[in-house]
Amino acid sequence: MKAKKLPLWVLAIVLTLCVALVGVVIWQGSRLRTLQQSAPDQTVPASSAQQGTSAPSAVESSARLTKSFDLTPTGVDKAGGTASADVSLELWDDLPGAAVTLLVTQGGASSSLPLTRSDSGVYTTLLTLPLSAQQGAGDQSVSLTVTVEADGAFVKERLGDYPNTRFMTASLRADLKEGGMTYVRKSLPAPGVGLMRMNADCRLSVVEGGKPVAVGSPSFRLYRNGKLMKQLSAVEDEAGRYLYGPQEWDNALVCRNGDEVTLTFVCIGNDGWSYEFQLESASITKYSGDVMLKLMPPAVA
- Between 39-43, 72-76, 88-92, 111-115, the lowest mean confidence (pLDDT) is in 39-43
Residue 58 near residue 46, CB atoms below 8 Å: yes
Name the band, by pLDDT with cuts 50, 70 and 90, for residue 11: low
Question: pLDDT tens digit string along 46-103?
Answer: 444 333 333 333 333 446 889 999 999 999 999 999 999 999 999 988 888 899 999 9
- Burial pattern 210-232, b for ≥16 Cβ within 10 A else e, equals eebeebeebbbbbbbbbbbbbbb
Q: Cα separation of 201 and 246, whole Å? A: 8
Check whether 224 has a pLDDT greater than 90: yes
State the pLDDT at residue 238: 79
* 43, pLDDT greater than 50: no
105: Cβ–Cβ under 8 A, 6 or more apart, which residues?
142, 143, 145
Written as one string, the DSSP assignment of 253-294 is: EEEETT-EEEEEEEEE-TTS-EEEEEEEEEE--SS---EEE-
- Cβ contacts of residue 156 below 8 Å, gap of 6+? 61, 62, 63, 65, 103, 145, 146, 147, 148
pLDDT single digits (tens) 136-146: 556 789 999 99
pLDDT-derived band at 178, boundaries 50, 70, 90: confident
Q: Among 31-35, 222-226, 287-291, which range has the highest average pLDDT?
A: 222-226
Closest-CA residue to 165 (of 187, 191, 139): 139
8 A C-beta contact, residue 161 and residue 155: no
Kindly report, as residue ranges, where domains of CATH 2.60.40.10 are found in the chain: 66-168
Q: What CATH number does the domain located at 171-300 have?
A: 2.60.40
Class of domain 66-168: mainly beta
pLDDT for the residue numbered 23: 54
Q: Kind and range of the H or E element at 173? A: strand 172-176
